[in-house]
């Protein structure tokens, strides 16, 4: 299952490594709000995105205005309730030190808040980068499977006699290559995801059924591997497919522009609704092969329709009217938190209008 790409360390590290050390002053697109406060006292329920939004025109710029270098990005600031975030106007930075307090760096952040300098267990109180509850269910269970994976995925070939409904601890027999994995998720192909640009199916949003653990790999002369059911959320049975369980997801999300310019289209809205709003999850038709990684931020636009030009000339051979393309209108921002080969999941961070299938998600200008 080499094509099954999640929020594993490889993608995250690649994205973080590509971010250079912050410049002394933030880039023009990372401007501070005109009405930015002088300080903010952190409270429970805050996120780094929310806090940064009080100071910045674009909240995703917070790593730059914190002056985070490459090493610090790999282990971002931990900020806790009760601490005060100061706006150092002179240096154009955010800081945990009061500007002009006599710090030798003249207000630049020198306190290194990290797990190494905190008592074990205090990390649970740290302020997250984005709302964790909104994406937690999507980190390990919903799956996106491409056609090649679907054709080659191991499948449940049989189960113990008399077990109509499989539950925890039941034995099942699986046929197919395991590629060295021992823990698997069980899925059933669900909604096809069609590329709005081409109309072809680029992947399947699979239905998660539960998990299996390998007990005995197939021996010579035996065609199947023996598994037991570790968990079950829906009925599973013969014919259902397996995919290797993803690695423990990375949760130190650091927002940043994509590694290279990306223009994507919205493929689907999770749970099958027509429109999506803030804190809802959508999928887009770009993934790791297109330069997206965990933490990439895209701007959302309503796709500008192509309509007949009411005042235009006739088309070819006098038939039909000439067409005009309306501009894409910006409506919000998208935070990529799980990346597959050609498709990614993103969380809508804010939006002024509902997002729908076919809308555009593009790199910040």
Tens-digit pLDDT profile for the chain (365 aa)?
Answer: 333 323 332 223 223 223 322 333 344 467 899 999 999 999 988 888 888 889 998 888 877 777 665 455 445 557 889 999 999 888 888 888 888 765 544 333 433 333 333 333 345 677 777 777 767 667 667 678 877 788 889 999 998 876 667 888 899 999 999 999 999 999 988 888 888 888 888 888 888 898 999 999 999 999 999 999 998 888 888 999 999 887 766 566 778 888 889 999 999 887 667 899 988 889 999 999 999 988 889 999 998 888 888 776 655 555 566 888 888 889 999 999 888 888 998 989 888 999 999 999 999 87
Same structural domain, 234 and 160: yes
- pLDDT at position 140, please? 64
Token couple for 165:
């409904």
- pLDDT at position 249, please? 62
- pLDDT at position 147, please? 72
Same structural domain, 239 and 270: no
Q: Among 99, 134, 169, where does a domain finish?
A: 134
- pLDDT at position 69, please? 53
Q: Which range of residues forms the domain containing residue 100?
A: 20-134
176: in domain: yes
- pLDDT at position 55, please? 92
Model pTM greater than 0.85?
Answer: no
Overall domain count for the chain: 3
Distance CA 206, CA 203 (A): 9
Tell me how many degrees the CA angle 201-203-205 measures, rounded to the nearest 5. 120
7: in domain: no
Is the CB of residue 141 less than 8 Å from the CB of residue 208? Answer: yes
Helix (H, G, I), strand (E, B) or coil at 83: coil
Same structural domain, 193 and 111: no
Distance CA 128, CA 133 (A): 10
Token couple for 359:
């809308």
Q: Among 102, 134, 166, where does a domain finish?
A: 134
Same structural domain, 212 and 267: no
257: in domain: no
Same structural domain, 348 and 317: yes
Nearest CA-CA partner of 208 in 161, 139, 274: 139
Same structural domain, 150 and 215: yes
Same structural domain, 215 and 315: no
184: in domain: yes
- pLDDT at position 23, please? 31
Residue pointed to by tokens 């409270």: 43
- pLDDT at position 22, please? 31
Q: Among 244, 273, 300, where does a domain finish?
A: 244
Nearest CA-CA partner of 243 in 128, 170, 340: 340
200: in domain: yes
14: in domain: no
42: in domain: yes
Same structural domain, 224 and 147: yes
Same structural domain, 280 and 320: yes
294: in domain: yes
- pLDDT at position 280, please? 87
Helix (H, G, I), strand (E, B) or coil at 228: strand
Sorted by sequence, the CB contacts under 8 Å of residue 337 that are 6+ apart come out as 7, 130, 135, 138, 139, 253, 294, 295, 345, 346, 347
Same structural domain, 156 and 208: yes
Same structural domain, 177 and 72: no
Same structural domain, 205 and 229: yes
What DSSP string describes 144-168?
EE-HHHHHH--EEEEE-TT-SS--T
């Amino acid at each position: 299952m080499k094509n099954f790409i999640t929020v594993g360390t490889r993608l995250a590290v690649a994205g973080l490594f590509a971010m250079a050390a912050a410049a002394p002053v933030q880039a023009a697109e990372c401007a501070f709000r005109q009405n930015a406060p002088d300080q903010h006292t952190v409270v429970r329920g805050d996120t780094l995105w929310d806090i940064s939004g009080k100071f910045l025109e674009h909240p995703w710029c917070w790593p730059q205005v914190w002056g985070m270098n490459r090493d610090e990005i790999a282990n971002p600031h931990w900020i806790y309730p009760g601490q005060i975030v100061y706006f150092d106007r002179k240096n154009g930075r955010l800081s945990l030190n009061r500007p002009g307090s006599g710090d030798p760096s003249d207000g630049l952040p020198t306190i290194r808040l990290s797990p190494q300098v905190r008592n074990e267990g205090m990390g649970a109180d740290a302020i997250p980068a984005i709302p964790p509850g909104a994406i937690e269910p999507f980190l390990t269970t919903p799956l996106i499977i491409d056609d090649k994976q679907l054709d080659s995925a191991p499948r449940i070939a049989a189960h113990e006699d008399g077990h109509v409904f499989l539950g925890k601890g039941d034995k099942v027999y699986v046929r197919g290559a395991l590629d060295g994995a021992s823990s698997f998720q069980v899925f059933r192909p669900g909604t096809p995801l069609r590329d709005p640009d081409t109309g072809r199916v680029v992947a399947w949003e699979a239905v998660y059924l539960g998990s299996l653990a390998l007990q005995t790999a197939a021996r010579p002369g035996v065609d199947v591997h023996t598994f037991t059911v570790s968990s079950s959320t829906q009925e599973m049975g013969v014919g259902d497919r397996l995919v290797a369980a993803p690695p423990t997801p990375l949760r130190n999300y650091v927002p940043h522009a994509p590694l290279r310019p990306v223009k994507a289209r919205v493929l689907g809205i999770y749970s099958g609704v027509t429109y999506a709003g803030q804190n809802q999850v959508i999928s887009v038709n770009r993934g790791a092969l297109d330069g997206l990684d965990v933490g990439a931020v895209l701007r959302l636009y309503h796709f500008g329709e192509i309509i007949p030009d009411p005042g235009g000339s006739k088309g070819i051979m006098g038939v039909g009217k000439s067409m005009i393309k309306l501009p894409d209108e910006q409506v919000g921002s998208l935070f990529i938190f799980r990346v597959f080969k050609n498709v990614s999941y993103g969380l809508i961070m804010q939006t002024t209008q509902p997002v729908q299938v076919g809308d555009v998600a593009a790199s910040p200008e």
